[in-house]
Structure 1
Amino acid sequence: MKTIIAASLLAADFAYLADNIKRAEKSGADWIHYDVMDGMFVRNISFGEPVLKSVSKLITLPVDAHLMIMDPIRYIDNYADLGVNGITFHFEAASDTQTVIDKIRSRNLRAGLSVKPATPVSMIIPYLHSVDMVLVMTVEPGFGGQVFLPETLHKVKELRKYIDDNKLDVIIQVDGGINKETSAMVRECGADVLVSGSYIFNAEDMSEAVRSLR
C-alpha cells in the first residue's frame, strides 16, 4: 500500500483554519488528523467537538480523530456523530481497553490504539487482533513541534513483525516529529501512516512537503 499522509491540524494557524484545511487537502494529504487533548491525560488543551462541528462541513478528506483524553469511551459517540472516519485512543488512558475498541467498532469506525513512547509494545499485543490501526507516538503526546525520539523506532519494527507474522489486517501509524528525514526512517521500519503537523503547515510549498514524506 502507498504511504498515507495525515495532516495534523494541531499545527495549523487557527486564525485561518478553514484556509489551512483547504491547503492541506490540495497538497495531496490523504487524511486530516484531529488531536483532542483534555489537559489531564496530557499537559495541554487543544480543540474539541465545537471546532470539529464547525469545520467538518469544509473537510472532504477522511478525519482521523486522536483522543488524548482520560476515559475516552465517554466521547466515542460524540465524535462518531460528528462524522469522523476513525478514532484512536490511548492504551494508558482507558480502564477497559477492549470495551473502548468494541465501542468504536460498533459505530463502524476505524479503531486505533495508541501508546506513549515509554509503553512497551508487549502491553498492547493482546489487542492487535481486534483493532484496525496502532499508533506509535514518536514524541511525548501533548504538544506539536517536538523532536522525534529515535528510540521509538524499535517499537515500529516490533509491531511490523508481529502484524506480518500473524497476517493481521492492521496498519501502523506514527505521530511526532515527522519530517523528510524521519519519515524515511519510520517507513523503513514498516509504518503505513505518517502524521505530520509542523513540517506540512509551516512549509512554503505544502505539496512538496507532502511528496517528500512519501
Structure 2
Amino acid sequence: MHDFPILIAPSILSCDFAAMGEDCRAMERAGADWLHVDVMDGHFVPNISIGVPVVKSLRPAVKLPLDVHLMISKPLDYLGAFLDAGADLITFHIESESEPALAIATIRKRGKRAGLVLKPATPAERVFPFLPLIDVVMVMTVEPGFGGQKFMPGMLPKIEALREEAQRQGLPLHIEVDGGIDPATAPLAVRAGADVLVAGSALFSKPDYAGAVRDLRAAAEAGRGL
C-alpha cells in the first residue's frame, strides 16, 4: 500500500462560472488540495468547456496547484499556452494524437508536473512504459466529457493494476480518479490504490464547502482501513 496523503481536487466544472474566483477561493479556504480544471475541445470529447483564459484568470486568484486535465485531440499544440497561463500539473490522454513522451518532456522542461489519463476502455498497460517519466496517472471512472455521471466500479481493477506496477517499478506515482467521486465511492477508489480524488458536484453542490471537503477526506481515509 502507498503512504501518500489523500488529496482532494475540486473540479471547477461544477462551480458557479459567474463567481468562479470567489467559489475557488472558498474551496481553497475549505481545505482543498488542488483545483482540477477540465479542458474539452468538442472533438476529443463531445463537449466544449474552458481553456487558457480561465487558467490565466484563476492563477492569481488562488494559491492552490492548478491541475489541468486536457481532454483534447492535440495536447502538444497547447501545452506552452497552458503552462504560460499558470498550470502546475498537466494531464493528457494516452488516446490523444500527440506523442506521449514528447508531450511529457515538453511539460517537464518547464519544471511542471506531467501525467497521463486513461479512458474507461483503455487498459492500464498502455501507460506502463511511461510511468517512470510522469508524476500522475489519472483513471477516468466515467466516460470523459460531462460532469454528474455515475462512478464505474469496473475501473477499480485498473487502479489496482497501476498501483501494483508503480510499486513493482519503485515509483512514487500519484493515482488520480475522476468521475462520480463522493463519500460513497471515494473509499473504494482509495482502497484500490488511488490517492488523488477529483470531485465536482459532490463538493460544489454543498452549501458548506469545508464540511464537504472534510466528509470526502474522512470517507477516503476510511477506505485505507477497509
TM-score by length of 1: 0.97
Q: Is the 1:42–1:69 contact (alpha carbons within 8 Å) kept by the matching residues of 2?
A: yes
2:116 to 96, 113, 116: 113
Alignment correspondent of 2:52: 49
Which of residues 136, 154, 157 is equivalent to 1:154? 157
Equivalent-residue separation in structure 1 for 2:161 and 2:215 (angstroms): 25
SS of structure 1 residue aligned to 2:185: helix
For 2:190 and 2:132, locate their aligned partners in 1 and report how far apart those are by CA, in whole Å: 22
Which of 82, 91, 94 aligns to 1:88? It is: 91
In structure 2, how many angstroms separate the alpha carbons of the residues matched to 1:107 and 1:170?
Answer: 20
How many corresponding residue pairs? 214
- Find out whether 1:163 has 2:189 as its counterpart: no
Report if aligned partners of 1:180, 1:209 keep a CA contact under 8 Å in 2: no
Secondary structure of the 1:178 match is: coil
Whichever residue aligns with residue 83 of structure 1, its letter is G
Pair 1:144-2:138 in alignment: no
Tell me, in whole angstroms, the C-alpha distance in 1 between the residues paired with 2:53 and 2:162: 35
Runs (4+) of structure 1 moved beyond 6 Å? none
Picking from 114, 124, 128, the partner of 2:127 is 124
- 1:153-205 C-alpha deviation (Å, 9 max, x unpaired): 11001111111122112110000000001001001111010011110000122
Deviates more, 1:89-98 or 1:145-154: 89-98
SS in structure 1 of the partner of residue 122 of structure 2:
coil
What pairs with 1:175-186 in structure 2 (closer than 5 Å)?
175-186=178-189
Equivalences for 1:1-20 in 2 at 5 Å? 1-20=4-23
Separation in 1 of the partners of 2:143 and 2:192? 20
Matches within 5 A, 1:17-96: 17-96=20-99
Q: Which runs of 5+ in 2 are unaligned?
A: 218-226
Q: CA deviation at 1:100?
A: 0.8
Conserved? CA contact 1:148–1:182, under 8 Å:
yes
Superposed displacement of residue 7, structure 1: 0.8
Distance in 1 separating the partners of 2:91 and 2:120: 16
Whether the 8 Å CA contact 1:94–1:100 is kept in 2: the answer is no
Question: What is the TM-score normalised by the length of structure 2?
Answer: 0.92
- Answer whether contact 2:75 2:98 (CA < 8 A) is retained: no
Q: Percent identity?
A: 48
Secondary structure in 1 matching 2:32: coil
Distance in structure 2 (CA, Å) of the matches to 1:159 and 1:18? 35
Q: Are the equivalent residues in 1 in contact too, given 2:29–2:210 (CA < 8 A)?
A: yes
Q: Could you say which residue in structure 1 is the equivalent of 2:220?
A: none
Aligned residues of 2:31 and 2:213 also touching (Cα < 8 A) = yes
